Structure 1
Amino acid sequence: MGTRRRVAERRSTKKPAVIGGTIALVVAGAGVGVYALYGGGAAADDRTTPTAASADEKAVKTGPLSATEVTTAARTFLTAWQQGKVTTAAAATNDSTAATALLTGYTKDAHIEDVTLTAGARTGDKVPFTVKGTVSYKGTSKPLTYGSSLTVVRDAEDGKPYVDWHSAVVHPDLADGDTLVTGESGTPPVKALDRDGGEITTAEYPSLGTTLDGLREKYGKIAGGKAGIELRVIRGKASKAKDLSDETVLELSEGTPGTVETTLDPELQAAAEAEVAKKANSSVVLLRPSTGEILAAANASHGFNTAFQGSLAPGSTMKVITSSLLIEKGLASADEAHPCPKYFTYGGWKFQNDDKFQIKGGTFKTSFARSCNTAFISQAPELADDDLTRQAQEVFGLSMDNWAIGVPSMDGSVPVQSDAQMAASLIGQGGVRMNPLNMASVSATIQTGVFRQPYLVSPDVDNRTLATASRTMSAATVSQLRELMSYTAAYGTAAEAMSGVTGDVGAKTGSAEVDGQQKPNGWFTAYRDDLAGAGVVQAGGHGGETAGPIVADLLKLGAP
């Protein structure tokens, strides 16, 4: 947080702060702006050691915040907000300019009135509170209730406590830069249908909330519906840069929905929802390789669509793409001898295998099946910096930012890198980023030999153009890649997860290290006949043990 700028005692930038406070309290609202404070043991907590100050200057207070400082700052802010005194409330924060804008819009743009704020028990520097009010717009009103929280920090410049300002203080669904607006929704609602004509709802499929928001944003105006009146989160620049969609907070009056047909299969979607519910931070996607139709997509965490929009290092699942490159360049062949030493140094980095294993006299197929890192890193000296990037783009249709699946998505990133970072990218680390949708597409490309851009809504609905790859691999290369993945599913790191999955199958596991994370992200990508899937379990551990069972269980259902 930056240095405070004083303008008539208004604070317009965030300040350095010290966080503290240890005694619990309850702040309860009564009437308008009236609060009762109960600070058990607060007197003891408030004892401070006098600091020396000159005759002309009072010393700035430092150290942890006392219970009274936290509750007083919270009370000042909440009381002023409840009373509609925006300037006073904003002055109690460490970013009065941003606070003034959002609190003014709370009444003017969101049309929220008769606000009552009830604070809960303090925990350290944090105070939760409940908001109750009424949203009124052109004669239509509806009650609004939700919970939020604030954090109090000490300013390093003047030593005083202030509410640490973020838009989420006003409403937990707001990111900084977002706003709340009530009015006729610019986009009419949509009724999304699965491939069998059944309605898709979050009650039945909890993880599809973000997908339904994306469908409305994309097709609401062309699907034949009529807008209703809603309180909505309107995303700012930062949120839009993350491809976050606007969000409905409260519906005052229903619009007339238009209809959008999707490719989702109800049986597979229900199964995907059940699978991710078993494993925290998991995400999975299934699609039909022969067409690119997305059949299911689910996330254990419902706030962000990791399945479509995640940007994570894919670990060793990236070796599928790298293998296609090495085979095409004559640097590897499935049944030919290939080095897998304990270590390999390139670009100043010393790379090693999991548990520092090595394979003596093994083939490339053996190295792929056991996910030998050095088997791939050892080929880095023979590659140009842009080889992997071009392979991902030209053959697999990735990393060109041009997928149009029908809702927001990220189509992978394989940047051009050099030296050690280039070598790391060969095993799905470095700057490479993927999500389950991308890696399901990779397996689908191997299964059919042709890249087909995945899609959730048929391009016939809006005449959009799907992404294409500029070339296909030779039949010989595709055959070797299928051999590698089939062998891995039967005898390699994917064998346990793929046990019982019959038919034309192939798989690859992955574990991606993340700085500051105790366990790696576990990845798994596989295909069975005309069904391909991929999953990730963040901070879950090895992919064969975490994401593998999720994907394999869905593959067992068979392609519809």
Structure 2
Amino acid sequence: MPETRHRTTSRRKPRKVIRSATAAAAALAVVAGGAYLAELGPFAAGSSAADPDPAAVAEARAFLADWAGGRMPSAARRTTHPDRAQDVLRSFTAGLDIAKPALTPAKATVTEDGTVSVPFTAKMPITDLGTWTYQSKLPLRKQQDGAWKVDWSLSLVHPKLSSTQKFRLQREDVERPKITDRGGVALSGGTHPFLVPVLNQLAGAAGAGPHGAIQRVDRATGEVSGTEAVFGKKPTGLTGKPIRTTLDSTWQAAAEKALASKAEGKNAALVALRIDDGQILAVGNAPAGFNRAVSGTYAPGSTWKIVTTSALLLKDAVKPGDIVDCPKYLTVGKQFHNVETSEHRNATFLQDFTESCNTAFIGLRDKVGDRELGNVAGTYFGIGQEWHIGIPSFDGSVPTPRDQTEKAASMIGQGRVLANPLLMASVTATAVSGTFHQPTITHGNEDTTATTALPQNVVTRLREMMRATVTEGTAKVLADLPGDVGAKTGTAEVTEEDPNNGWIVAHRGNIAIACVVEKGRTGGASAGPIVRSLLAAVPTDPS
């Protein structure tokens, strides 16, 4: 989603013109900033005449979305017993240290008494331990006023939760070995609080650190009646040898200071790594808890246009000087638009990139095949391959679009395209160097990736376009920094109700950085100041 600026015009030589179709009519749902599509969200499913009442299914999905998003009062109001539901949902997630649930519904059915049943899979991340996965189902009943409500019971939260049985999280910590940065400086949660999730994962990988279990206990006696899930490895033969990481304590401290001072209390995450070898210098998660910087799953928004631009440049489908119109609206099943319905008539592709024009990029979707964006992401950027960085990581997902609406969304980093700061920092490093290096946070990791180098002419154009984004585009927040800084901003819509996530990726010298701010609205305004603060605090690259 573009953070628009007024464009200055100058005399140019004649250029090839690539026109994108403008919207013929407004669609029912407006898609902003690369845009969340209701049908493409995490609770999407098809429907037919034989399906249960769509209103019941929609209410079930809304309940799951509210629960997953931590909106307990809203989720509770969708049930037949709001007060009780709100108390249970809050105590369940808080009491078991569940960070950010992922709740995915399956096909709904209708029972003989008219109840609509919606099965779902719950993936519950237990802070610092792992993910508890189980299946349950939602019963929905039609009320006298005709509205559908979730028929509240304890068992819908978990099939074994009841008036006699509850759950308890049992933790057990083992003394962890010393963890150091690349130069031997000790790293701890006391000095680097936003690094705590990473430190826990590093210790866990060594067989130390936290492990535990979800136990089922009798409400009356407190006796354990069963174990639902076990997390972590029992320590065996720890040597006490320090764990040496690739992190740099100076960069880590600067990253944490930038997050603390510029994130304005919002959830945010950042990764900085070396371009020439992929070694990670800093990882920040504010607040500490879930390692969203490395394991998070976000729509990358317009930062993804680096990959889209690579796909277009690789086949010479467009050049930076070509005219690619940037209209206010473009309808591809749904209506897409630019921030504040801005437009740039007769814009060049370079200006579309620097101003992050959604409609221009979507208008070029026929220039790439349906599978091509995913193929380019995997072949040149290593996305979707299995990375071994030294701790668990999410390595990206670029599914083949199911229709033209989803393809339009994927062109601008929405739909089902998923990434995180680790992945986007790596994308930036690959784009400006031409070569993918598997990111690492420890030494001696296995590398099973296989990629192809980007042609030099593509790298040159990407660097020029990212530099122009700083000097005259949406990343001007970095313009006063010394050095040849290049960047790309992004704004990604999450739901129609929640504020957008703000993104920025940047490079300087041998460093690539990516930062996301949840509910940050725009990348330039929210993530930009964080990266600027970091780069200003550490003016030189580590050796």
Fold-level similarity (TM above 0.5):
yes
Structure 2 length as normaliser, TM-score?
0.64
Residue 504 in 1 paired to residue 484 in 2? yes
Q: CA separation in 2, counterparts of 1:534 and 1:164?
A: 48
Question: Could you tell me which of 475, 489, 494 is aligned with 2:470?
Answer: 489
> Tell me, what secondary structure is at the counterpart of 2:373?
helix
Residue 328 in 1 paired to residue 309 in 2? no
Q: Which residue of 2 aligns with 1:78?
A: none
> Tell me, what secondary structure is at the counterpart of 1:395?
helix
Residue 415 in 1 paired to residue 399 in 2? yes
Deviations 1:341-373 (A, max 9, x none): 222222x22221111222122211101010000
Name the CA shift for 1:408/1:245 in 2 (closer, same or farther; >3 Å): farther
Structure 1 length as normaliser, TM-score?
0.62
Q: Counterparts in 2 of 1:87-102, with a 5 A limit?
A: none
Question: Could you tell me which of 243, 248, 251 is aligned with 1:260?
Answer: 243
Q: Which residue of 2 aligns with 1:351?
A: 336
Question: Could you tell me which of 521, 525, 543 is aligned with 1:545?
Answer: 525
* Residue 439 (structure 1) shift: 0.6
Q: Which residue of 2 aligns with 1:218?
A: 205
* Residue 256 (structure 1) shift: 6.2
* Residue 332 (structure 1) shift: 1.6
Q: CA separation in 2, counterparts of 1:550 and 1:385?
A: 35
Q: CA separation in 2, counterparts of 1:215 and 1:166?
A: 32
Q: Match of 2:254, as an amino acid?
A: A
Q: CA separation in 1, counterparts of 2:438 and 2:155?
A: 53
Residue 190 in 1 paired to residue 192 in 2? no
* Residue 213 (structure 1) shift: 2.0
Q: Which residue of 2 aligns with 1:367?
A: 352
* Residue 404 (structure 1) shift: 0.6
Question: Could you tell me which of 245, 252, 257 is aligned with 1:269?
Answer: 252
Name the CA shift for 1:349/1:218 in 2 (closer, same or farther; >3 Å): same
Name the CA shift for 1:298/1:165 in 2 (closer, same or farther; >3 Å): farther
> Tell me, what secondary structure is at the counterpart of 2:323?
coil
Name the CA shift for 1:319/1:154 in 2 (closer, same or farther; >3 Å): closer
RMSD of Structure 2 on Structure 1 (CA):
3.1
Q: Which residue of 2 aligns with 1:520?
A: 500
> Tell me, what secondary structure is at the counterpart of 1:308?
helix
Residue 233 in 1 paired to residue 212 in 2? yes
> Tell me, what secondary structure is at the counterpart of 1:258?
coil
Contact 1:337 1:362 in 2 (8 A): yes
* Residue 165 (structure 1) shift: 6.5
Contact 1:294 1:456 in 2 (8 A): yes
* Residue 453 (structure 1) shift: 1.1
Q: CA separation in 1, counterparts of 2:443 and 2:155?
A: 56
Q: Which residue of 1 aligns with 2:138?
A: none
Contact 1:328 1:477 in 2 (8 A): yes
Deviations 1:181-214 (A, max 9, x none): 669x6xx732111011011111111122221222
Question: Could you tell me which of 388, 394, 398 is aligned with 2:383?
Answer: 398
Name the CA shift for 1:255/1:391 in 2 (closer, same or farther; >3 Å): closer
Residue 530 in 1 paired to residue 505 in 2? no
Contact 2:210 2:232 in 1 (8 A): no
Name the CA shift for 1:190/1:365 in 2 (closer, same or farther; >3 Å): same
Name the CA shift for 1:342/1:255 in 2 (closer, same or farther; >3 Å): same
Q: Match of 2:388, as an amino acid?
A: A
Contact 1:517 1:539 in 2 (8 A): no
Contact 2:204 2:210 in 1 (8 A): no
Name the CA shift for 1:331/1:344 in 2 (closer, same or farther; >3 Å): farther
Q: CA separation in 2, counterparts of 1:349 and 1:196?
A: 52
Deviations 1:219-264 (A, max 9, x none): 34xxxxxx7xx9832489xxxxxxx97399xx9xx97632111011
Deviations 1:404-462 (A, max 9, x none): 11011111111111311111011010000110011111111122111111100122xxx
Contact 1:206 1:302 in 2 (8 A): yes
Question: Could you tell me which of 278, 286, 295 is aligned with 1:309?
Answer: 295
Q: Which residue of 2 aligns with 1:122?
A: none
Q: Which residue of 1 aligns with 2:368?
A: 383
Name the CA shift for 1:165/1:235 in 2 (closer, same or farther; >3 Å): closer
Name the CA shift for 1:466/1:555 in 2 (closer, same or farther; >3 Å): farther
> Tell me, what secondary structure is at the counterpart of 1:200?
coil
Q: Which residue of 2 aligns with 1:22?
A: none
Q: Which residue of 2 aligns with 1:478?
A: 459
Name the CA shift for 1:486/1:64 in 2 (closer, same or farther; >3 Å): closer
Q: CA separation in 1, counterparts of 2:194 and 2:295?
A: 13
Residue 465 in 1 paired to residue 451 in 2? no
Deviations 1:5-29 (A, max 9, x none): xxxxxxxxxxx9xxxxxxxxxxxxx
Question: Could you tell me which of 406, 430, 434 is aligned with 1:445?
Answer: 430
Name the CA shift for 1:211/1:325 in 2 (closer, same or farther; >3 Å): same
Contact 1:217 1:245 in 2 (8 A): no
Name the CA shift for 1:257/1:552 in 2 (closer, same or farther; >3 Å): same
* Residue 470 (structure 1) shift: 2.4
Q: CA separation in 1, counterparts of 2:325 and 2:260?
A: 41
Q: CA separation in 2, counterparts of 1:231 and 1:218?
A: 11
Name the CA shift for 1:65/1:327 in 2 (closer, same or farther; >3 Å): closer
* Residue 514 (structure 1) shift: 0.8
Q: CA separation in 1, counterparts of 2:154 and 2:397?
A: 41
Q: CA separation in 2, counterparts of 1:501 and 1:163?
A: 61
Q: CA separation in 2, counterparts of 1:165 and 1:541?
A: 43
Q: Match of 1:538, as an amino acid?
A: E
Q: CA separation in 2, counterparts of 1:374 and 1:255?
A: 56
Q: CA separation in 2, counterparts of 1:384 and 1:419?
A: 11
Q: CA separation in 2, counterparts of 1:357 and 1:181?
A: 52
Q: Which residue of 1 aligns with 2:144?
A: none
How many residues matched? 375
Contact 1:189 1:258 in 2 (8 A): no
Q: CA separation in 2, counterparts of 1:63 and 1:407?
A: 42
> Tell me, what secondary structure is at the counterpart of 1:423?
helix
Which protein is bigger by CA-based radius of gyration? 1
> Tell me, what secondary structure is at the counterpart of 1:371?
coil
Question: Could you tell me which of 317, 321, 326 is aligned with 1:340?
Answer: 326
